[in-house]
Protein backbone atom coordinates (compact mmCIF):
# COMPACT_ATOMS: atom_id res chain seq x y z
CA UNK A 1 0.00 0.00 0.00
CA UNK A 2 1.25 3.47 -0.87
CA UNK A 3 1.94 5.82 1.99
CA UNK A 4 0.74 9.42 2.04
CA UNK A 5 4.15 10.83 1.12
CA UNK A 6 4.24 8.66 -2.03
CA UNK A 7 0.76 9.81 -2.96
CA UNK A 8 1.66 13.45 -2.29
CA UNK A 9 4.66 13.56 -4.65
CA UNK A 10 2.70 11.75 -7.36
CA UNK A 11 -0.17 14.23 -7.07
CA UNK A 12 2.30 17.12 -7.19
CA UNK A 13 3.94 15.48 -10.22
CA UNK A 14 0.58 15.54 -12.04
CA UNK A 15 0.34 19.31 -11.44
CA UNK A 16 3.95 19.77 -12.53
CA UNK A 17 3.27 17.74 -15.66
CA UNK A 18 0.48 20.12 -16.72
CA UNK A 19 2.72 23.19 -16.37
CA UNK A 20 5.65 21.34 -17.98
CA UNK A 21 3.53 20.38 -21.00
CA UNK A 22 2.46 24.01 -21.50
CA UNK A 23 6.07 25.16 -21.33
CA UNK A 24 7.09 22.40 -23.72
CA UNK A 25 4.35 23.30 -26.20
CA UNK A 26 5.06 27.02 -26.31
CA UNK A 27 8.84 26.87 -26.06
CA UNK A 28 8.88 25.16 -29.47
CA UNK A 29 7.26 28.18 -31.10
CA UNK A 30 8.92 31.39 -32.20
CA UNK A 31 8.57 34.09 -29.54
CA UNK A 32 7.90 37.43 -31.23
CA UNK A 33 5.79 39.59 -28.94
CA UNK A 34 6.05 40.96 -25.45
CA UNK A 35 2.99 38.92 -24.51
CA UNK A 36 4.57 35.70 -25.79
CA UNK A 37 7.77 36.48 -23.84
CA UNK A 38 5.75 37.10 -20.71
CA UNK A 39 3.82 33.88 -21.28
CA UNK A 40 6.95 31.73 -21.61
CA UNK A 41 8.41 33.30 -18.49
CA UNK A 42 5.15 32.69 -16.60
CA UNK A 43 4.97 29.05 -17.73
CA UNK A 44 8.58 28.62 -16.66
CA UNK A 45 7.87 30.17 -13.24
CA UNK A 46 4.93 27.79 -12.72
CA UNK A 47 6.80 24.73 -13.97
CA UNK A 48 9.92 25.53 -11.95
CA UNK A 49 7.95 26.19 -8.75
CA UNK A 50 6.15 22.88 -9.11
CA UNK A 51 9.39 21.11 -10.11
CA UNK A 52 11.24 21.96 -6.91
CA UNK A 53 8.14 21.06 -4.89
CA UNK A 54 7.95 17.69 -6.65
CA UNK A 55 11.61 17.17 -5.80
CA UNK A 56 10.91 18.12 -2.17
CA UNK A 57 7.94 15.75 -1.89
CA UNK A 58 9.79 12.93 -3.68
CA UNK A 59 12.84 13.33 -1.44
CA UNK A 60 10.67 13.40 1.70
CA UNK A 61 8.98 10.19 0.53
CA UNK A 62 12.52 8.72 0.34
CA UNK A 63 13.20 9.80 3.93
CA UNK A 64 15.18 13.00 3.32
CA UNK A 65 14.50 16.22 5.24
CA UNK A 66 14.12 19.19 2.90
CA UNK A 67 13.69 22.71 4.24
CA UNK A 68 14.04 24.94 1.16
CA UNK A 69 14.14 24.95 -2.63
CA UNK A 70 17.94 25.07 -2.42
CA UNK A 71 17.94 21.98 -0.15
CA UNK A 72 15.67 20.15 -2.59
CA UNK A 73 17.96 20.98 -5.52
CA UNK A 74 21.16 19.98 -3.69
CA UNK A 75 19.70 16.70 -2.45
CA UNK A 76 18.12 15.85 -5.83
CA UNK A 77 21.48 16.46 -7.51
CA UNK A 78 23.30 14.27 -4.98
CA UNK A 79 21.00 11.31 -5.68
CA UNK A 80 21.05 11.84 -9.46
CA UNK A 81 17.48 12.99 -9.85
CA UNK A 82 18.63 16.15 -11.61
CA UNK A 83 21.70 16.49 -13.80
CA UNK A 84 23.14 19.95 -13.22
CA UNK A 85 22.73 21.43 -9.77
CA UNK A 86 24.37 24.72 -10.79
CA UNK A 87 21.85 25.25 -13.59
CA UNK A 88 19.00 24.55 -11.16
CA UNK A 89 20.37 27.04 -8.60
CA UNK A 90 20.77 29.57 -11.41
CA UNK A 91 17.17 28.89 -12.52
CA UNK A 92 16.00 29.41 -8.93
CA UNK A 93 17.77 32.78 -8.75
CA UNK A 94 16.40 33.88 -12.11
CA UNK A 95 12.90 32.70 -11.25
CA UNK A 96 13.05 34.81 -8.09
CA UNK A 97 14.24 37.78 -10.15
CA UNK A 98 11.53 37.50 -12.83
CA UNK A 99 8.78 37.21 -10.24
CA UNK A 100 9.70 40.60 -8.79
CA UNK A 101 11.03 42.55 -11.77
CA UNK A 102 10.09 43.25 -15.34
CA UNK A 103 12.80 44.49 -17.61
CA UNK A 104 12.76 43.91 -21.37
CA UNK A 105 16.45 43.00 -21.58
CA UNK A 106 16.10 40.58 -18.67
CA UNK A 107 12.96 39.11 -20.28
CA UNK A 108 14.81 38.46 -23.56
CA UNK A 109 17.72 36.80 -21.75
CA UNK A 110 15.32 34.79 -19.61
CA UNK A 111 13.35 33.47 -22.59
CA UNK A 112 16.59 32.32 -24.24
CA UNK A 113 17.75 30.67 -21.00
CA UNK A 114 14.37 28.99 -20.45
CA UNK A 115 14.34 27.48 -23.92
CA UNK A 116 17.99 26.49 -24.26
CA UNK A 117 19.10 25.75 -20.68
CA UNK A 118 16.29 25.41 -18.14
CA UNK A 119 13.70 23.53 -20.17
CA UNK A 120 16.13 20.68 -21.01
CA UNK A 121 16.84 20.30 -17.27
CA UNK A 122 13.11 20.19 -16.47
CA UNK A 123 12.63 17.67 -19.28
CA UNK A 124 15.33 15.39 -17.89
CA UNK A 125 13.77 15.50 -14.40
CA UNK A 126 10.30 14.94 -15.87
CA UNK A 127 11.44 11.86 -17.79
CA UNK A 128 13.17 10.35 -14.74
CA UNK A 129 10.19 10.85 -12.44
CA UNK A 130 7.66 9.75 -15.08
CA UNK A 131 9.19 6.25 -14.85
CA UNK A 132 8.43 6.18 -11.10
CA UNK A 133 4.87 7.46 -11.08
Residue range 3-62, pLDDT digits in tens: 887 889 999 999 999 999 999 999 999 998 989 998 999 999 999 999 999 999 999 999
* pTM exceeds 0.85 for this model: yes
* Fold annotation for 4-130: 1.20.120
Nearest one of 64, 41, 61 to 129, comparing CA atoms = 61
Q: What is the pLDDT of residues 71-114, one digit of tens each?
A: 999 999 999 999 999 999 999 988 877 766 677 888 889 999 99
Question: CA-CA distance, 89 to 63, in Å (whole number)?
Answer: 22
Exposed, middle or buried by CB within 10 Å (0-12, 13-18, 19+), for 69? buried
Residue 54, helix vs strand vs coil: helix
Distance from C-alpha of 9 to C-alpha of 11, rounded to nearest angstrom: 5
N- to C-terminal Cα separation, the chain: 14
Distance CA 62, CA 56 (A): 10
Angstrom distance (rounded) from CA 20 to CA 71: 22
Amino acid sequence: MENLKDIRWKQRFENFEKAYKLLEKYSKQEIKTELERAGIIQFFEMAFELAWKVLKDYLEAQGFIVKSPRDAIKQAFQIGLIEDGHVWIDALSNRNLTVHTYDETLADKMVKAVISIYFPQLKSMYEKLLKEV
